[in-house]
Structure 1
Amino acid sequence: MTVECLICTAPLPALTAGELRLPCGHVQCESCLQRNFSVSVKTMPFQPVLCCARIDITVFRRLVPSAELAVYREKLSEFLDRAKLYCWDPNCSAFIPNALRSRTASVVVGKCRRCHTKTCMRCRGKFHWGPCAVNPDSAAAARAAASDRARRRALLEEEKFKEYSRARGWKECPLCRRMVEKTEGCNHIQCFCGCHFCYRCGRQPYSTHRGCAM
């Protein structure tokens, strides 16, 4: 008995399919999982690898190099963090993960992995001893400025990713905006989100598609 890969429809032996079966019940072959992982790492702003839900990082341990897995883990940490902390230095603004944050009775500080400076977790400014020297309005302004820097950085990264995608001929799903790469087969694409569209012209639904003039 064989099972088809959800993405490329390649037949997989039952034993292999069992090892690759995701919690949602779908199966993606190793090549498709590796390709989806590669696309996910490059998405800007970052989007984790998905099927019906986010695919657990443990699935990729034996499929991708450890260096790429470390990059993905860092991006996922920022994506999932509900209290994001960024380096106070406007020339850096790198994300500071929980592992690099220290909380004691008198000090709450995060150390930037990129430039090694420290950021106060209360006022989001340069690390200092004692009470924050700024009033709540100034602290809110500092947080807003840090958020704006992060937003501008994300927009710049997104534009770089779009240029990267266009250079490789990737197409954007018209429903969820996820980038899709077709390596073979016809122009009928089924995205992870369930949208059926034409890879050539981008129109959906494909069921009513009768060719395009491109």
Structure 2
Amino acid sequence: MLLFDRVCCISKWFQRRPCIICSKRCRRDVLHFCQHSYCKDCTVRWIEMVIAGDIREISCCGKVLDSSMLRNFVPSKIAAQYKRAVKLRKLGGIVCPQCLQKPISECVEPTTDSQFPSPENKLNCRLCAKSFVLPAAELDDFLALEIAAVIHGWKRCPGCTTLIEKIEGCNHMSCICGISWCYACGDMYGEVDHDTCYNL
């Protein structure tokens, strides 16, 4: 009987999957969206990093964590914040579908005299001069983000176009995409001399 109890105990231990981040073996509250397992505590911390802007999104094994998978796993408020953070980062990376060269925020020219695109959601690219249409929901989010960027003085990384807010310190920015750039002039380090750039 003692041997049977040991075998059952070992069997139950192996049924628990280790969290790929903390290595803690968990049977309940484990998230599986790829080939790995994530415990609830690590998943919440990971999501908080996305919300804070430290990372772009949660991805592993070539898969991106969809916010719908978080339902019933983390509090709904955190799941909603993750969904919004990922959506805003994707908006920052929208490119012109014609020339694929610049983020929309840098190549959009309004189709009317106003500062913003026309009600038809039609945008004109300054590079290729072609027009394209954004879905209304994307356009609303895009405009809200652009207005917030202007109001707060945020700048975009020249590598991945992520919006960056400088709170204090020097102008040397190190983005999550790996690019180092100057907040004052917007150029990447190594391309120009930044000795004349003053702290903003």
- Which band: TM-score by shorter chain? 0.3 to 0.5
TM-score by length of 2: 0.42
Structure with the bigger RCO (C-alpha within 8 Å, sep 6+) is 1
Bigger radius of gyration: 2
